[in-house]
Structure 1
Amino acid sequence: MHTASSHAAVAAVARTGPRIHLVTGPVGAGKSTFARQLVQQHCAVPLNLDDWMATLFSADRPDTSDVMAWYVPRTLRCLTQIWKTAEAVLNTGGDVVLEVGLIQQHQRDAFYARMGPWADAIVVYVLDAPREVRRARVLRRNAEQGATFSMVVPPHIFELASDLWQPPDEVECANHTVVWVPVADHGA
């Protein structure tokens, strides 16, 4: 497992000015709980894709087997608006905590390319846990619908998203401030 270099960790803490805290990892890794901690720690504005999708589109979600064809364009529209909102917050001097998926390398690469003047303001936090632990967390979250619940994650969607997860590689870690959050440091 990768760890943040001491240089990257020092740079992440020492940076002055607004920051983008990007939280990434597979479904059930503890991202929402960790993101809430970052929001409090940095007095940041939380921007969570699942919350936007649940609020804007859950009532219209079709009961078809091809839900991904419905989901993807709505996700892209939400991400565009979330980024506009994030830029507005950053331009006023505030931090943002983004929990917006980006589970595949090409998605994160596109995000980094889009950041323009904010490229040096990002800290990427990577959370992960064994699949069986994550599966149990998601089943519990679906049943309890507690504080970090946005929408039910069906088992087939959990498996699909888990199969798509690509952790940052050596190149991404070398080019960005990436902090690997140990499992013990966050909740579910």
Structure 2
Amino acid sequence: MHTASTHTAPAAVAGTAPRIHLVIGPVGAGKSTFVRHLVQQHRAVPLNLDDWMATLFSPDRPDTADMADVMAWYVPRTLRCLAQIWKTAEAVLDAGHDVVLEVGLIQQHQRDAFYARMGPWADTMVVYVLDAPRDVRRERVLRRNAEQGETFSMVVPPHIFELASDLWQPPGDVECAERTVVFVPMAER
């Protein structure tokens, strides 16, 4: 697993540090649509966990409803992708460009582990939180599964949607006090 950098970001020293835009929220909250806006606004490089997982591993995904089997398959692949995404993000940041990360991190302990590996980039990050009522998100996911439009990367089965929704933990007071956190209203996505 990639750990925090030991170098000081050159752009940070010069006062023109590129930024990390971390977009979090439950499945179907509008993250992918919002990411496209951030990418254009900041001329940033998008890095999306679902895209990496779909490209690298979807053909090998177990065809089972047994959540234990699915999670045993999913978790190690996700961790490897996150390590590589962070390595890529560091290279983009070192080159002087912003990154927009849509990498899951739906639980607090996942975000804490991510923040711990950021090293000199921690102070350049803005966390954007998107959410919506579960019934609205469920309808969006069903529609996205059927239409497979611009923000589609893989089918999200109903049982995975429910599991991921149950796992979602919005940032609490401590996380918000330690980070720059922006709660994005539904009207802005």
Q: What's the TM-score, normalizing by structure 1?
A: 0.90
Residue pairs, 1:1-188, within 5 angstroms: 16-64=16-64, 65=66, 66-186=69-189
Structure 2, gaps ≥5 residues long: 1-14
Structure 1, gaps ≥5 residues long: 1-14
> For structure 1, which segment, 62-71 or 130-139, has the greater mean C-alpha deviation from structure 2 after superposition?
62-71
Q: Which runs of 4+ in 1 moved over 3 A?
A: none
* CA drift at 1:16: 3.6
Q: Distance in 1 between matches of 2:108 and 2:120?
A: 21
* CA drift at 1:84: 0.2
> Secondary structure at 1:148's aligned position in 2?
coil
Q: Distance in 1 between matches of 2:18 and 2:89?
A: 11
Q: Distance in 1 between matches of 2:125 and 2:111?
A: 12
Deviation per CA, 1:49-69: give whole Å up to 9, x if none.
000000001111111222111
* CA drift at 1:129: 0.2
Deviation per CA, 1:72-121: give whole Å up to 9, x if none.
10000000000000000000100000000000011111111110110101
> Secondary structure at 1:125's aligned position in 2?
strand
> Secondary structure at 1:158's aligned position in 2?
helix
Letter in 1 for 2:82: L
> Secondary structure at 2:154's aligned position in 1?
coil
Letter in 2 for 1:147: E
Identity in percent? 85
Q: What's the TM-score, normalizing by structure 2?
A: 0.90
